[in-house]
Amino acid sequence: MVSIPRPLVPDDDGSADASVSAALAAFSAGTADAVQVLTALSTARVLVPVVALLTESEVGAHGIRQEKESEMALPKLIGEDGREAVLAFTGTDSLTRWRPDARPIQATGPQVCRAAVQEQAAAVVVDVAGPVPFVIEGTLLQALAAMDGPPETLAARLSGTGVTVARLAPTPPPRRRFPWLRRPR
């Protein structure tokens, strides 16, 4: 018998994680850097959208075209340069701001980054429609995708294996940015 997986947060009301919201607000105000946002996202619940995709239709008895079959699909954002991005949202408010008919699926920041890497997407875009859009790409995307639990757990698991665990330090934002996103001023 197929079992339905338990949600990450069973009593989730769809609100954005307070630490992620605070980090994004500080980033927008210029009082925090991307590392603080990534640290908050590394342990937070985010929402990944799925949307219904019509796969087959038919003409009904009254001559009106109607849905016959549909599938649920993970939408991707396509940049002007052709690169793809996986979408994630901090809460249902930001999700419905983007697309009201999308259904939320709970995931962690690292799970979304792993999915993006597996899908060969160039980035994860968090809250694309606001209030504060944030892009994870390049080596930061790869680093979050490699995480399997909180940073402390990962470091403990790797100790004694000869693998060095490095902490992220503030760096200037990458020059490769998705053209549809601009950092708020």
89/113 Cα distance (integer angstroms)? 13
For residue 30, the number of C-alpha atoms closer than 13 Å in the C-beta half-sphere is 3
pLDDT for position 94: 96
Average pLDDT of span 170-183: 48
Digit-coded pLDDT (tens) for 138-153: 988 998 898 865 554 4
pLDDT for position 68: 62
- CA separation, residue 36 to residues 31, 66, 77 (Å): 10, 48, 24
Q: What is the mean pLDDT of the chain?
A: 78
- Residue 22, H or E segment: helix 18-29
pLDDT bucket at 161, cuts 50 / 70 / 90: very low
Tell me the pairing of strands 103-108 and 65-73.
Answer: unpaired
Map out the domains of the chain with their CATH numbers: 18-46+75-158 (3.40.1350)
Lowest mean pLDDT, pick from 34-38, 44-48, 69-73, 118-122: 69-73
pLDDT bucket at 15, cuts 50 / 70 / 90: very high
Lowest mean pLDDT, pick from 25-39, 86-100, 164-178: 164-178
Q: Please give the model's pTM, rounded to 2 decimal places.
A: 0.72
Cα-only R_g, the chain: 19
pLDDT bucket at 163, cuts 50 / 70 / 90: very low
